[in-house]
């Protein structure tokens, strides 16, 4: 390949050291594939979900027509914490930060006209991940899909919920059990499904530094691996289906170094834990541009921020990418904002030339040095966590939460002191003259969802529903894998709230100290 000036672009560039690492080789610092984007681009996966399943389906259809290559579902707060829309706990939150999913019927509507075999779907869901996955599988079965071909991801990362986000339900031990049950069940039933997306994104959004994001996330990943090993699962099997989810912030080179460092640390960690298959040592990750970096002041500036962040993710070797809408500091992204966000990825992929060679920044004095420093700093934090007994203990002691809070405070102080310049916020301020169109959700959605739930309960076989829920409770009191029982409940049209309540009655709820 030659560029516009006629200069030949090599597929891979190497340093002068003949032993220098190549892409696709352990420990994968330069990328997990030899040809990276020369084979195919990253998955352009736009995160969307709001209001009802009907409205979210329309947005998915729109995004698919615009060229998105993967769907990413945002669920509303009640769905995330196991309450149906008609529950008193759901008042004021239904459909606000994502789509309301109360039963398999809503899932059927959400993906109407979208064959699940032909699209990969990522679902940002944690405490109720097992229930939403069961709904997705039930729908795939209805469509006659081959489950061995179904691919996608559930976030399913509960440790970062205790540390940074808060959408937990059950105590730590039963929550970890649900996660390893999913690992085990998917290895048999859904071999292409990514059973967890270990998330640093929300840790960074809560205020951590880049090195803390990396250290806390990989430590959480290590905790999940150890839990699966204790259950007797094969690391070379479940290790291939682990994925990660990172944030991309504004410090361009720091973010690139973070992504490269993550691959190396994880590969070495998995090898130390007993992995022998290279694919079980590869860190595959999704990136989302930084939501907390978006400003309500001069919101069009966010297009530039998102572009820089997205480019750092691509140069860092991401496997999939979501770019935020420029208006998200004000409201849910409008169609125009979502379209610009997707076009940003497409311009990087097809016009910028950065995909013409593998790891174009490999060998940069600055990037290589920064990568090593990031590895050193992150490993130091991980060692501190290990001395406490691992991530679970560090979360239970509140240490991780405290470290995030300190970093968040220091960053805010730097902004207030103007040691950190935020364009349009604490420097280069101007009065915004043009009002952007807004996109907000009203409270009538709860009424709509409640009517759907009432209709469902009047039409389903409630005897079968009750029996399936009782079977689930009995299984939860044993050591049986819970996924077949949850799937049974879903297929009998038990609601998400009914299933979560049944597990609450056995497991109890997590009490934040």
pLDDT tens, 42-92? 999 877 777 889 999 998 998 899 888 888 899 999 999 999 999 999 999
pLDDT greater than 80 at residue 6: no
Identify the pLDDT of residue 15: 66
Identify the pLDDT of residue 281: 98
| Nearest 10 degrees: Cα torsion 335, 338, 340, 346 | -130
Identify the pLDDT of residue 482: 98
* DSSP for 56-82, written as a single string: HHHHHHHHHHHT--EEEEEB-HHHHTT
Comparing 41-55, 285-299, 472-486, which segment has the lowest mean pLDDT?
Answer: 41-55
Query: Contact at 8 Å (CB) between 259 and 285?
Result: yes
pLDDT greater than 90 at residue 291: yes
As beta bridge partners, residue 153 has: 122, 194
Identify the pLDDT of residue 8: 83
pLDDT greater than 60 at residue 152: yes
Identify the pLDDT of residue 7: 67
pLDDT greater than 80 at residue 443: no
**Distance separating alpha carbons of residues 52 and 448, to the nearest angstrom:** 8
As a whole number of Å, the CA-based R_g of the chain is 23
Of residues 397 and 50, the one with the higher pLDDT is 397
pLDDT greater than 90 at residue 439: no
Residue 16 — pLDDT band, cuts 50, 70, 90?
very low
The topology under which CATH files domain 36-390 is TIM Barrel (3.20.20)
**Distance separating alpha carbons of residues 85 and 72, to the nearest angstrom:** 21
pLDDT greater than 70 at residue 5: no
Determine what percent of the chain is predicted with pLDDT higher than 70.
96
**Distance separating alpha carbons of residues 51 and 53, to the nearest angstrom:** 7
pLDDT greater than 70 at residue 398: yes
Maximum Cα–Cα distance for the chain, whole Å?
Answer: 73
Identify the pLDDT of residue 425: 95
H/E element holding 404? helix 399-416
Query: Domain coordinates of the chain in residue numbers?
Result: 36-390
Average pLDDT in the 186-206 region? 95
**Segment of 37-51, 321-335, 363-377, 492-506 carrying the highest mean pLDDT:** 492-506
Burial pattern 192-213, b for ≥16 Cβ within 10 A else e, equals ebbbbbbbbbbbbbbbbbbbbb
The pLDDT tens digits of the residues spanning 231-276 come to: 999 999 999 999 999 999 999 999 999 999 999 999 999 999 999 9
Burial pattern 425-457, b for ≥16 Cβ within 10 A else e, equals ebeeeeeeeeebeebebeeebbeebbebbeebb
Number of other residues whose CB lies within 10 A of the CB of residue 386:
14
pLDDT greater than 60 at residue 17: no
The pLDDT tens digits of the residues spanning 358-396 come to: 999 999 999 999 999 999 999 999 999 999 999 999 999
């Amino acid at each position: 390949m030659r560029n516009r000036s006629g200069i030949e672009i090599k597929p891979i560039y190497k340093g002068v050291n003949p032993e220098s690492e190549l892409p696709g080789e352990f420990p994968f610092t330069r990328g997990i594939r030899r040809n990276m984007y020369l084979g195919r681009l990253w998955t352009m996966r736009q995160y969307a979900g709001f209001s009802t399943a009907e409205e979210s389906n329309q947005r998915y259809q729109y995004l698919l027509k615009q060229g998105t290559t993967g769907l990413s579902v945002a669920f509303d707060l009640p769905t995330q914490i196991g309450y149906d829309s008609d529950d008193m706990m759901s008042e004021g939150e239904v459909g606000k930060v994502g789509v309301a999913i109360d039963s398999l019927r809503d899932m059927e509507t959400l993906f109407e006209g979208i064959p699940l075999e032909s699209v990969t779907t990522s679902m940002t869901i944690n405490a109720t991940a097992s229930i939403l996955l069961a709904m997705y599988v039930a729908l795939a079965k209805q469509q006659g899909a081959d489950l061995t071909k179904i691919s996608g991801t559930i976030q399913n990362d509960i440790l970062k919920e205790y540390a940074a986000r808060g959408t937990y339900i059950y105590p730590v031990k039963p929550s970890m059990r649900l996660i390893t049950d999913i690992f085990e069940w998917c290895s048999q039933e859904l071999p292409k499904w990514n059973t967890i997306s270990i998330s640093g994104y929300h840790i960074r959004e809560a205020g951590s530094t880049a090195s803390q994001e990396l250290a806390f996330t990989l430590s959480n990943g290590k905790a999940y691996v150890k839990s699966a090993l204790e259950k007797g699962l094969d690391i070379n099997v479940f290790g291939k289906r682990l994925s990660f989810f990172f944030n991309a912030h504004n410090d361009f080179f720091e973010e690139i170094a973070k992504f490269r460092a993550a691959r190396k640390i994880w590969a070495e960690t998995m090898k130390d834990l007993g992995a022998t298959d290279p694919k079980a040592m590869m860190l595959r990750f999704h990136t989302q541009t930084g939501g907390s970096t978006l400003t309500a002041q001069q919101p069009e500036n966010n297009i530039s921020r998102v572009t820089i962040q997205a480019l750092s993710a691509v140069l860092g070797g991401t496997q999939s990418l979501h770019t935020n809408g420029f208006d998200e500091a004000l409201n849910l992204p409008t169609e125009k904002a979502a379209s610009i966000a997707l076009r940003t990825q497409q311009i990087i992929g097809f016009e910028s030339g950065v995909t013409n060679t593998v790891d174009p920044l490999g060998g940069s004095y600055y990037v290589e040095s920064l990568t090593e420093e990031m590895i050193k700093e992150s490993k130091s934090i991980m060692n501190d966590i290990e001395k406490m007994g691992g991530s679970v203990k560090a979360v239970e002691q509140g240490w991780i939460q405290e470290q995030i809070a300190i970093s968040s405070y220091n960053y805010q102080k730097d902004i207030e002191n103007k040691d950190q310049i935020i364009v349009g916020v604490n420097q280069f301020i101007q009065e915004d003259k043009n009002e952007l169109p807004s996109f907000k959700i009203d409270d009538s959605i709860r009424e709509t969802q409640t009517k759907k739930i009432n209709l469902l309960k009047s039409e389903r076989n409630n005897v079968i529903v009750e029996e399936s829920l009782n079977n689930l409770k009995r299984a939860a009191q044993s050591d049986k894998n819970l996924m077949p029982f949850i799937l049974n409940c879903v297929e009998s049209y038990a609601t998400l709230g009914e299933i979560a309540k049944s597990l609450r009655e056995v497991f109890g709820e997590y009490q934040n100290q």
